A = this chain, B = another copy of it.
């Protein structure tokens, strides 16, 4: 008779009793370890099914000293990037029998506490650079928690995975300069994340390589609102003061600018060229199409999971810093005609 709704859930003892075997044998059957007779196997399976037995993972974790779970700390889940990252991560984890426990820091009332709790539940943690400060990361390292950093500046002795930013930004900027743009501006606050600072670095490098002076970045948040606000400012300026090209830190910013400028009577790409970053879906539906840079987010997640697992199992002890190639997606908003180009992956 199946356990009624009020009875406590079945334990391995209940299964053993019903199968008239010891809990040791039940465990061996369920885990597929050790030698078991076919008869015993059948009886256990039958009993387990009959009792709707669900092994309590905490007990196993305690006994085997392993959680078989990864922690993933993200700043946010807005936009498609983190979703894709998570997707790639979860996929890898699922294929390798690891659970994924997610923690989002943005808006979290007590990230410290959440993090410690997380650390006690998993075998290792992947941290996105925008999610946690360095102190929190060092704290974890001190507690000997295996860690992999994503989109985070390199930390000595710590694994990291990120996508290439500076070279792509430089290539993109050079292209604009080569096509006659004279007065470029970087839109987005480099302080908002490591990736953005790298993009600004690439932007700067291109300008310097062309013998230009490097303007200060327009330090605004990476949001549509900020883009619209900044567009107003541009529209209020005279044509002479206005830049003739905007390299934006992400697509939200670029899309909002694109639209607001057009609404204000400024032609894109004729008067001003605009580029973004991330290649969100809207980038290919807006017109003119938004030139942007695509990051392999799912692959980033996948790789992070793999690196963490290597670290947890101890099959690798030397730290690795992987850098994945991005892809420049040329569309009409940059005025240099459509086409595509791959950036060379730096030697990791």
User: Which chain A residues have a beta carbon within 8 Å of chain B's beta carbons?
Assistant: 2-3, 5, 9, 52-62, 67, 69, 76-80, 82-84, 86-87, 90-91, 94-95, 97, 99-104, 107-109, 114, 116-121, 139, 142-145, 255, 259, 280-282, 285-287
Is A99's CB under 8 angstroms from B94's CB? no
Bound form: Cα–Cα A114–B144 in Å:
28
Is A77's CB under 8 angstroms from B103's CB? no
Known contacts A101-B99, A142-B2; A120/B259 CB under 8 A: no
Taking the closest CB of chain B, its distance from the CB of A79, in whole angstroms, is: 7
Is A94's CB under 8 angstroms from B120's CB? no
| A94 touches which of B2, B3, B114, B285 (Cβ 8 Å) | B114
Taking the closest CB of chain B, its distance from the CB of A73, in whole angstroms, is: 11
Known contacts A67-B58, A107-B91, A285-B255; A102/B86 CB under 8 A: yes
Bound form: Cα–Cα A87–B74 in Å:
11
B contact residues around A60 at 8 Å (CB): 120
B contact residues around A119 at 8 Å (CB): 54
Bound form: Cα–Cα A32–B294 in Å:
48
Q: List the 9 shortest-distance A-B pairs measured between CB atoms, nearest first.
A: A58-B61, A282-B282, A83-B83, A57-B120, A52-B143, A77-B87, A285-B286, A282-B285, A58-B58
- 12 residue pairs from A and B, CB less than 8 Å apart: A52-B143, A56-B120, A57-B121, A58-B67, A58-B121, A59-B62, A77-B86, A79-B80, A99-B121, A101-B101, A281-B281, A285-B285
Taking the closest CB of chain B, its distance from the CB of A222, in whole angstroms, is: 14
Most buried by B among A59, A103, A104: A104
Taking the closest CB of chain B, its distance from the CB of A209, in whole angstroms, is: 33
Taking the closest CB of chain B, its distance from the CB of A158, in whole angstroms, is: 13
Is B67's CB under 8 angstroms from A5's CB? no
B contact residues around A78 at 8 Å (CB): 83-84, 87
Bound form: Cα–Cα A127–B99 in Å:
16
Q: Which residue of B lies closest to A99 (CB)?
A: B101
Known contacts A61-B58, A286-B286; A104/B91 CB under 8 A: yes
Is A54's CB under 8 angstroms from B145's CB? yes
Bound form: Cα–Cα A118–B87 in Å:
17
Is B87's CB under 8 angstroms from A142's CB? no
B contact residues around A87 at 8 Å (CB): 76-78, 104
Is B80's CB under 8 angstroms from A109's CB? no
B contact residues around A86 at 8 Å (CB): 77, 83, 86, 102
Bound form: Cα–Cα A67–B101 in Å:
13
B contact residues around A118 at 8 Å (CB): 99
Taking the closest CB of chain B, its distance from the CB of A91, in whole angstroms, is: 6
Bound form: Cα–Cα A62–B59 in Å:
6
B contact residues around A101 at 8 Å (CB): 69, 99-102
Is B52's CB under 8 angstroms from A142's CB? yes
| A99 touches which of B53, B76, B117, B287 (Cβ 8 Å) | B117
Q: Which residue of B lies closest to A86 (CB)?
A: B77
| A281 touches which of B9, B54, B69, B280 (Cβ 8 Å) | B280
